[in-house]
Structure 1
């Protein structure tokens, strides 16, 4: 057996599997959040009410769907070991950390959960096994 074939059959590290579990939760949460925001705006408009800052709310709703779709692509393609997946996920998680810090400053204590999940994903993706998984 050649080294290339043996390398392709390498099993996925536990850190990467843990990241995938968290990302699946984030996909579901972002999808639900996007649906909830857009549905609430639709309800307001169907009853003749006008939402304050509706443009921003629509943007955030569609952004949630975009993040969920990007994370879904990363989860589905992780077994293929594309090198772009790791930096993409880390970038999304850094944005999540920034968002969590802003929410914490504004008094939303539940933002701690998002902060810890994002920090955990970044930590796991920066370990040697995870880096090797995506770099080869």
Structure 2
């Protein structure tokens, strides 16, 4: 089934957007600073998704890390969300933690680590160029949520 067919049939959700100031329920600002290497000044949440999508903000007001854990209706939707974030055609394979799969890439524009397991997708972006930092954040979120 093509991406368009999956999007039409299952209604792929739009990406979350930062909104409400708050505390991320699965990653602390301290953990993000430690794993990403950049100071976090504040956290914004998108409460329209559960668990909330978390956006970690630096002192200049820029998003330095975003984390979205999507609990979907099917593994096809989760896989398509991963492919939308880290397209299979131009990213390296991602397979951490065990049982999860997806894609990763990094560079001057930042890094992404996106993985799925069953109907769950975990999508992480960072302004840091190393995808290992996004990977560490994804694994920490998965561990904290017991996924």
Q: Do the structures match in fold with TM over 0.5?
A: no
User: Counting helix residues as a fraction of each chain, which structure ranks higher?
Assistant: 1
Q: Find the structure with the greater CA-based Rg.
A: 1
Instruction: Name the one with the larger strand percent.
Output: 2
Query: Which TM-score applies when normalising by structure 1?
Result: 0.26
Higher relative contact order (CA 8 A, sep 6+): 1
